[in-house]
């Protein structure tokens, strides 16, 4: 007899699962219908197959919306009987993180991808025209493969996907708690979101990144359609705007990730060459290369195979990136990767579907491909754009080979260890800088070349002038910033980046004179050059200013810090010199789920005038017993000051609570303090303590406490005290309550900043005095933080370059869309 579980909300899950199956079936129907519409009715008006394909796709889109609505409903209502809700949410999460919990897990990430691809398919049905049938065949197939990843059903003994509507008791079926039909009474809350993900970037970064992944299907679909329909050249022009859009959105998503890493995830910067970070840029690099070669073919007829191959492989790499992230293959080598949900071979199948399709079309159509046998002119733009695309491909190939070490180990039984953190940074930085140096040089001098043929003399003179000018500026930058002290490769890359900015600046100036079609590429290249300049200076010359010269660098307090020499220990309210600043740890501020530490920075000039005085709030969260630190940053025009906590002995600030004891009974936490010292004082009197003093300013004879009923209270008096320590003044008001039945209660006030707990313990009306009992933490219990502070110079060039590059892509999209519109017919005069 089946157990009847009480309190479960099964209806939204059943509806959601129904929509999952319907979404998969509708996508499959759309794929089959569009396939027959393409093969049986090619070149004919809209057929019944095409109509059925549209109906299937519309039904898929509606189902996707239904899945999303059901999933959000169970998340928002905290139905912890569902594993997805229990694993990624809690009742304390703010609304924005409840929304982002939708894509926190693997299943939600796939759903986000499916949602964006559904919208893209609807746009293509509306705008693709004669290309709708073959293009939508591919898009519908991709939608079906994606939908299978979240089905969560068994078919012929094969488990397909992982459903977001899986019940907790089915996921943990062996746990004893689920033998109880009222198990939900014991599940009061979910596991919640990982602390490092509780950031506003979690709300906007994944949706942007997944839109970029979804957008990659469109140029792929056009390339497949062109090969399939033997329209080898015709697909290029309609695919170009979509390829540019995919580059722009995916690039924006990657840059958002670097913002997030810089601001919150505490990699010590904006890029750490983490395997999942690398995987996210595989398809972006190859699609950027594809865009350039597509333009070459469009203008000259050269490099058709390369252009087509790069478009096809870009979408395959989207799937390979997803495999690396979601199959569990990366294990402990990445802080981002998911664990395996039993989809390892299903993800491999997804890769093979699109890889085999691409290879088969290229091989079967090889003899008919419009591959020109005539070599490009050496001094032509198309030749060097092709070379640039080759180097982009080599850059991506290197990233794939090294990032995929866990894959090679699994496939061939190898035991190759991926590069460790510092070795990994050096490895990638040096090798990738070599590739990028060639690429940025090419983004500059190719702008001075013409398609097919160039005036060689003029080209050399122009190139030489700009190279020399760029060398002078780069030399000045490298000397002023100290970049010359690093590897010479970085100096060369700085030269190339400056050259790219200057040369493309000249092209942009020409665009303002009327050559507007050049603006998009020039702006994108300028943005890329500025991004590299900012990255080189900021990452290459960043300096740690929290140098520890106290002699405590090898003490037990620093045992767990990564580099004791670069961390300083700061006791609460004890100012300490750090570079040009004096830093003071002022105390803690608890605002669940975060724990902020107040760190004051103060800079005084030679005349004693205060130049700067500000407080940063680095954050610490506890994640499975370990500290998860997030920095706080002081932004300047030309640099950032980045501060984070690496260690602390400070506990969370407790809420004020009465001890519930009669009169003289000590508080439960008295062991944290030295022996209590009572002081009989009058208004205006002073009580000294080890690190300052306090003054009784007045008595509040109508003091009230939150959640404390006053019906049985005879007197409620608060002692308003000003506590002065280390130049700071704090206010405290312990409360004394006398009930009508004669019982006395006192409600203490803790001042973590001063290491005090104050109790109002007696009222002595005959003496016109009151008794204040002072508990002070011992010297050995003094609160401290261990902090690390880094100065990132000229980081704003990186962010500004990113934004400018995206604007360049947008301008290029407008241009290519304009080219799709037919020219208005000209009326010939008779």
pLDDT (tens digit, 9 = 90+) per residue, 183-237? 898 898 888 887 777 777 888 999 999 999 999 999 999 999 999 999 999 999 9
Task: Decide which of 193, 211, 238 is a domain's last residue.
Answer: 193
Does residue 313 lie in a domain region? no
One domain for residues 775 and 788: no
- The 10s digit of each residue's pLDDT in 698-736 is 999 888 887 777 778 888 999 999 999 877 788 999 999
Does residue 524 lie in a domain region? no
Task: Decide which of 162, 193, 224 is a domain's last residue.
Answer: 193
Report DSSP letters for 483-507, one per residue: GGGS-HHHHHHHHHHHHHHHHHHHH
Does residue 601 lie in a domain region? yes
Does residue 728 lie in a domain region? yes
One domain for residues 674 and 707: yes
Q: Strand, helix or coil at 125? A: helix
| Percent of the chain surpassing pLDDT 70 | 89
One domain for residues 188 and 81: yes
One domain for residues 149 and 168: yes
b/e per residue 173-209 (b: at least 16 CB within 10 A): eeeeebeeeebbeeeeebebbebbbbbebbeebbbbb
Task: Decide which of 143, 159, 193 is a domain's last residue.
Answer: 193
One domain for residues 605 and 750: no
CA angle (113 as vertex; 108, 115 as ends), nearest 5: 90
**Whole-number Å distance between alpha carbons of 790 and 646:** 13
One domain for residues 45 and 173: yes
Q: Strand, helix or coil at 481? A: helix
Hey, what are 507's tokens? 């092209």
One domain for residues 691 and 789: no
b/e per residue 262-283 (b: at least 16 CB within 10 A): bbbbbbbbbbbbbbbbbbbbbb
Hey, what are 69's tokens? 């609505």
- The 10s digit of each residue's pLDDT in 412-429 is 888 887 777 677 778 888
- The 10s digit of each residue's pLDDT in 77-94 is 999 999 999 999 998 888
Does residue 754 lie in a domain region? yes
Answer whether the bond into residue 593 is a cis peptide, omega within 30°: yes
pLDDT on residue 467: 92
CA-based nearest residue to 694, from 735, 731, 654 = 731
Rg for the chain, CA atoms, rounded: 33
In 103-200, DSSP assigns E strands to 153-155, 158-160
- The 10s digit of each residue's pLDDT in 378-387 is 777 888 889 9
764-768's contacts with Cβ under 8 Å and 24+ in sequence apart are 764/680, 767/680, 768/682
- The 10s digit of each residue's pLDDT in 134-155 is 999 999 999 999 999 999 888 7
**Structural domain for 747, as ranges:** 670-779
Q: How far lies 821's CA from each of 81, 232, 237, 675, 737, in Å?
A: 54, 20, 11, 85, 81
Does residue 761 lie in a domain region? yes
pLDDT above 80 for 309: yes
Does residue 700 lie in a domain region? yes
**Whole-number Å distance between alpha carbons of 776 and 770:** 19
- The 10s digit of each residue's pLDDT in 325-383 is 888 888 766 666 666 667 888 899 999 999 999 999 999 999 999 988 776 677 778 88
One domain for residues 698 and 789: no
For range 581-597, the mean pLDDT: 77
One domain for residues 709 and 575: no
Does residue 51 lie in a domain region? yes
One domain for residues 677 and 746: yes
pLDDT on residue 153: 86
pLDDT level of residue 42 (50, 70, 90 thresholds): low
Q: Dmax of the chain from CA atoms?
A: 119
Q: Which residue has the higher pLDDT, 658 or 636?
A: 636
One domain for residues 21 and 86: yes
How many structural domains are present in the chain?
A: 3
Spacing of C-alpha 296 from chain mean position: 34
b/e per residue 739-756 (b: at least 16 CB within 10 A): eeeeebbbbbbbbbbbbb
One domain for residues 26 and 151: yes
């Amino acid at each position: 007899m089946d157990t009847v579980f009480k309190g479960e909300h099964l209806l939204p899950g059943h509806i959601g699962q129904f929509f999952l199956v319907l979404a998969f079936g509708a996508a499959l129907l759309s794929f089959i219908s569009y396939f027959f519409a393409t093969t049986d009715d090619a070149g004919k008006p809209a057929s019944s197959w095409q109509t059925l394909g549209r109906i299937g796709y519309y039904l898929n889109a509606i189902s996707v919306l239904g899945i999303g609505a059901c999933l959000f409903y169970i998340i928002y209502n905290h139905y912890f009987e569902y594993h997805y809700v229990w694993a990624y949410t809690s009742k304390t999460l703010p609304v924005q993180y409840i929304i982002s919990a939708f894509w926190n897990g693997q299943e939600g990430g796939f759903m986000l991808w499916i949602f964006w691809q559904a919208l893209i398919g609807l746009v293509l049905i509306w705008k693709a025209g004669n290309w709708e049938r073959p293009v939508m065949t591919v898009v519908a197939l991709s939608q079906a493969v994606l939908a299978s990843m979240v089905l969560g059903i068994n078919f012929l003994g094969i488990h397909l996907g992982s459903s977001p509507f899986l019940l907790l008791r089915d996921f943990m079926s062996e746990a004893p708690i689920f033998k109880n039909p009222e198990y939900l009474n014991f599940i009061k809350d979910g596991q919640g979101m990982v602390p490092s993900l509780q950031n506003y970037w979690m709300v906007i970064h994944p949706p942007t990144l997944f839109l970029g992944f979804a957008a990659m299907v469109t140029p792929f679909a056009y390339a497949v359609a062109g090969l399939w329909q033997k329209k080898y050249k015709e697909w290029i022009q309609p695919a170009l705007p979509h390829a540019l859009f995919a580059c722009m959105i995916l690039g924006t998503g990657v840059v958002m990730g670097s913002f997030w890493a810089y601001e919150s995830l505490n990699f010590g910067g904006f890029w750490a060459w983490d395997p999942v970070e690398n995987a996210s840029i595989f398809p972006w690099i190859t699609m950027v290369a594809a865009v350039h070669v597509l333009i070459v073919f469009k203008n000259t007829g050269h490099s058709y195979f390369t252009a087509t191959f790069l478009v096809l492989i870009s979408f395959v790499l989207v799937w390979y990136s997803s495999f690396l992230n979601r199959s569990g293959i990366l294990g402990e080598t990445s802080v981002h990767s998911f664990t395996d949900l039993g989809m390892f071979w299903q993800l491999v199948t997804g890769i093979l579907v699109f890889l085999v399709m691409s290879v088969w079309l290229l091989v079967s159509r090889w003899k008919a491909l419009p591959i020109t046998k005539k070599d490009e002119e050496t001094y032509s733009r198309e030749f060097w754009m092709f070379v640039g695309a080759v180097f982009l491909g080599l850059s991506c190939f290197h990233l794939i080979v090294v990032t995929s070490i866990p894959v090679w180990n699994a496939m061939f039984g190898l035991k190759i260890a991926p590069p460790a953190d510092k070795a990994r940074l050096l490895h990638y930085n040096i090798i990738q800088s070599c590739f990028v140096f060639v690429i940025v040089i090419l983004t500059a001098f190719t702008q001075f070349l013409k398609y097919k043929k160039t005036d060689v003399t003029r080209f050399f003179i122009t190139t030489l002038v700009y190279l020399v000018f760029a060398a002078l500026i780069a030399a000045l930058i490298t000397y002023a910033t100290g970049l010359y002290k690093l590897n010479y490769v970085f100096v060369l890359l700085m030269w190339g980046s400056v050259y790219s900015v200057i040369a493309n600046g000249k092209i942009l100036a020409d665009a303002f004179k009327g050559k507007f079609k050049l603006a998009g590429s020039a702006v994108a290249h300028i943005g890329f050059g500025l991004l590299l300049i900012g990255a080189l200076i900021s990452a290459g010359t960043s300096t740690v200013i929290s140098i520890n010269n106290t002699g405590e660098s090898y003490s037990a307090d620093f045992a767990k810090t990564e580099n004791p020499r670069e961390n300083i220990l700061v006791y609460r309210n004890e100012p300490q010199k750090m570079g040009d600043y004096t830093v003071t740890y002022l105390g803690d501020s608890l605002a669940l789920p975060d724990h902020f530490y107040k760190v004051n920075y103060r800079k005084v000039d030679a005349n004693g005038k205060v130049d700067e005085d500000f407080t940063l709030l680095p954050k610490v969260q506890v994640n499975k017993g370990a500290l998860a630190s997030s920095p706080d940053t002081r932004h300047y025009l030309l640099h950032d000051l980045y501060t984070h906590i690496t260690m602390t002995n400070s506990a969370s600030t407790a809420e004020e609570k009465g001890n519930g004891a009669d009169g003289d009974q000590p508080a439960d936490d008295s062991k944290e303090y030295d022996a209590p010292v009572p002081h009989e004082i009058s208004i205006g009197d002073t009580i000294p303590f080890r690190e300052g003093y306090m003054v009784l300013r007045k008595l509040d004879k109508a003091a009230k406490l939150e959640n404390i009923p006053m019906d049985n209270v005879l007197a409620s008096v608060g002692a308003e005290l000003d506590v002065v320590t280390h130049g700071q003044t704090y206010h405290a008001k312990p409360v004394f309550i006398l009930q009508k039945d004669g019982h006395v209660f006192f409600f203490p006030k803790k001042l973590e900043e001063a290491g005090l707990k104050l109790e109002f313990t007696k009222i002595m009306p005959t003496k016109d005095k009151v008794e204040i009992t002072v508990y002070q933490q011992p010297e050995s219990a003094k609160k401290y933080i261990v902090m690390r502070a880094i100065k990132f110079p000229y980081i704003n060039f990186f962010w500004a370059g990113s934004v400018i590059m995206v604007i360049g892509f947008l301008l290029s999209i407008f241009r290519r869309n304009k080219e799709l519109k037919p020219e208005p017919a000209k009326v010939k005069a008779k």
